[in-house]
A = this chain, B = another copy of it.
Amino acid sequence: MKNNLFAGLTVSLPDELTEVLCRSSGVRIERIVSRGHCSPPGFWYDQAETEFVLLVKGRAGVLFEGEPQPRVLEEGDWVEIASHARHRVEWTAPDQDTVWLAVFC
Residues in A lying within 8 Å of B, measured CB to CB: 1-7, 21-22, 24-27, 29, 50, 52, 54, 56, 71, 73-80, 101, 103, 105
Please give the distance in Å from A20's CB to the nearest CB on chain B. Answer: 11
A26 touches B29 (CB 8 A): no
* Cα separation A26 to B28 with both chains bound (whole Å): 12
Residues of B within 8 A of A24 (CB): 50, 52, 105
* A contact face: mostly helix, strand, loop, or mixed: strand
Cβ of B3 and Cβ of A78 under 8 Å apart? yes
Within the complex, the shortest CB–CB distance from A76 to chain B, in Å, comes to 4
Q: Which single member of B3, B6, B21, B103 contacts A27 (CB below 8 Å)?
A: B103
A73 to B20, CA, bound (A): 20
A6–B76 CB distance below 8 A: yes
